[in-house]
Amino acid sequence: GSPRAACPQRAQYGPCSLRKMSVMEALELLDQLVDESDPDVDFPNSFHAFQTAEGIRRAHPDKDWFHLVGLLHDLGKVLVLFGEPQ
């Protein structure tokens, strides 16, 4: 079989059946968790997403797709709230 078919996370989360939410809702959910890779940060995780997107926008104003990637890059971390390890 293909490596994709063997991925239990793909089977569990691929259908997006646990919860449907907007990007803004997902960014707000990020604020509920403490990121193990950066536990001493005193500002919300969503702030990091906006800060990253804005930094990319300043450096690459002509690449709107890249601004979006900066905003979304940590959204997978919300899976911690559904029982996945960090």
Binding residues: 48, 73-74
Query: Of 49, 59, 52, which Cα lies nearest the Cα of 23?
Result: 49
Please list the alpha-helical segments (H only) found in the chain. 8-13, 23-30, 45-59, 64-72
Give the amino acid at 64. Answer: D
Residue 67: partners with Cβ closer than 8 Å, 6 or more residues away: 53, 56, 57, 60
Task: Summarize the annotated binding site for Fe cation as residue ranges.
Answer: 48, 73-74
